[in-house]
Chains A and B, each alone.
Chain A
Amino acid sequence: MASGFETTAEEYISHHLVNATFGRFPDGHERAGQWGFAGSGSEAESMGFWALHVDSLGWSIGLAIFFMWFFRRVAVTAAQDPAAIPTGLRNFIETLVEFVDGMVKSVFKHPDTSYVAPMALTIFVWVFFMNLMDLVPVDLIPYIFQYGLGVEYMKIVPSTDPNITMGLALSVFSLIIFFSIKQKGLGGFLAEISFHPFGKWLLPFNLILEVVGLLAKPLSLGLRLFGNLFSAEMIFILIATMYTGLLLGLFGGLLQFAWAVFHILVVPLQAFIFMVLSVVYLAQAYEEGEEH
């Protein structure tokens, strides 16, 4: 909280937790029925399900376009001259591709990795970049948007938005279901969640157990990423409230730096965990259930 802006710490924090929400104003609002950006946190909440976090989604897609552009450029040069000596960016991206490929091949035993490996790469790089946004000083971009462009709310770390993390997790989950059914057939898939682990005489119990196990996969995936990044972002914001005087401000700056250094560890780690678990879950979708 920079001095000169008349806000309390509470207002500051809650301001940082509101997304730029685009939606339809609800009944009872002065602009009821119209579409527009929410002017406050409670307004954003009242818009219900049919609203969009323009900031989260915008940054998320923007980052994806950003790194995909690099990847595509390397892919084009690679296709033109496959045997050339790689330099700079190409070297880096090939290292990354090799790393992901090795990881996928060690976990995913099915020979066809044509979709799992690109998916793992996309997840890893995307989540990494989304997490990396956390290292941008908390107020820098929001203030530019607020005082330069007149945008009231701006959250720039997509992975602190549960919509984004759960969106990724549910996408992976839908792939798990899709490939389970594709690999084992609908009957095989249903049999797997009905007759394990206790045989057909305890079917309801099996069903509860397996469905809970199945649903735990996307939940744990999405909530782990969200929880880690949200808490880290929260600490950045809390430290930022210390910028009230010179001495405390300096101390706060030191804390910000220390936390950022620690956070450097969290950024790739969470991206890596998300990728590995996605691949592991998909590998399980391909596994034939053991006989009973």
Chain B
Amino acid sequence: MNINLTLFGQMIAFFFFVWFCMRLVWPPIVAAMVARQEQIAEGLETADRAKKDLDLAQKRAMDELKKARAEAAEIIEQARKRSAQMVEEAQRDARAEGERLKQAATADVEQELRRARETLRAEVSALAVVGAERILERSVDPQAHAEMLDRLVADL
């Protein structure tokens, strides 16, 4: 338990080992730790950015999808409208055609009727003339009675 030269021996050893630690141990270890910290920070940042990118992409995809769906719905709506319109148009056309055919038929019938009436009238007037001739037993001048006959024909 004597104080002796060991004291100074220990002091010299202390300064040597502190110097050793200061020069050859501490700086490389701390530098490596700092380097790794930076690397980890960078990695985390990259991951963060990637996550943000993914979120953005997902959002964009969702938007695209929504837009496409809306477009599709619009197209379907348009198609439905168009088809309804077409059906309506067809109906209208058909109705118009039917009307036209009916009118044509009516006109035909009327014409036929008129023609028949014309024929009938001519025949009736001739018959009337023959009848009158027969009644009067003499020839009747058709020119003298033409006016009377025409009136008769118009009355028919």
Contact = CB atoms under 8 A, between A and B. Distances in A.
Contact of B28 (A79, A162, A167, A174): A79
B35 A44 contact: no
Contact of A119 (B1, B5, B22, B36): B22
B31 A78 contact: yes
Contacts of B20: 68, 72
Contacts of A78: 28-29, 31-33
B14 A50 contact: no
Given A57-B10, A64-B13, A168-B14, A75 B4 contact: no
Interface in A2-54: 17, 19, 21, 23, 44-45, 47-53
B9 interface: yes
B44 to A, nearest CB: 15
Contacts of A122: 14, 17-18, 21
Given A68-B20, A71-B21, A114-B22, A166 B3 contact: yes
Contacts of B18: 115, 118-119, 122, 171
B9 A57 contact: yes
Interface stretch (A93-101, A203-211, A240-248): A93-101
Nearest to A56: B6
A53 B31 CA distance: 39
Interface residues of B, number: 32
Contact of A79 (B6, B9, B32): B32
Contacts of B17: 64, 68, 122, 126
B31 A82 contact: yes
A83 interface: yes
B32 A82 contact: yes
Nearest to A161: B6
A168 B1 CA distance: 16
Query: Size band of the A side of the interface?
Result: 35 or more
A117 B3 CA distance: 29
B39 interface: yes
A157 interface: no
A75 B28 CA distance: 5
B136 interface: no
B7 interface: yes
Given A74-B29, A94-B33, A57 B6 contact: yes
A172 to B, nearest CB: 8
B21 A119 contact: yes
- Pairs of residues from A and B, 9 with the lowest C-beta to C-beta distance, nearest first: A167-B10, A78-B32, A163-B6, A82-B35, A82-B32, A79-B28, A118-B26, A118-B22, A118-B21
30 contacts: A21-B4, A50-B5, A51-B4, A51-B5, A52-B5, A52-B9, A56-B6, A56-B10, A64-B13, A68-B25, A71-B21, A72-B24, A74-B29, A75-B27, A75-B29, A78-B29, A83-B36, A83-B39, A94-B29, A115-B18, A118-B21, A118-B22, A119-B21, A119-B22, A126-B17, A163-B6, A163-B7, A163-B9, A166-B3, A166-B7
Interface of A: 17, 19, 21, 23, 44-45, 47-53, 56-57, 60-61, 64, 68, 71-72, 74-76, 78-79, 81-83, 86, 93-94, 97-98, 101, 114-115, 117-119, 121-122, 126, 161-164, 166-168, 170-171, 174
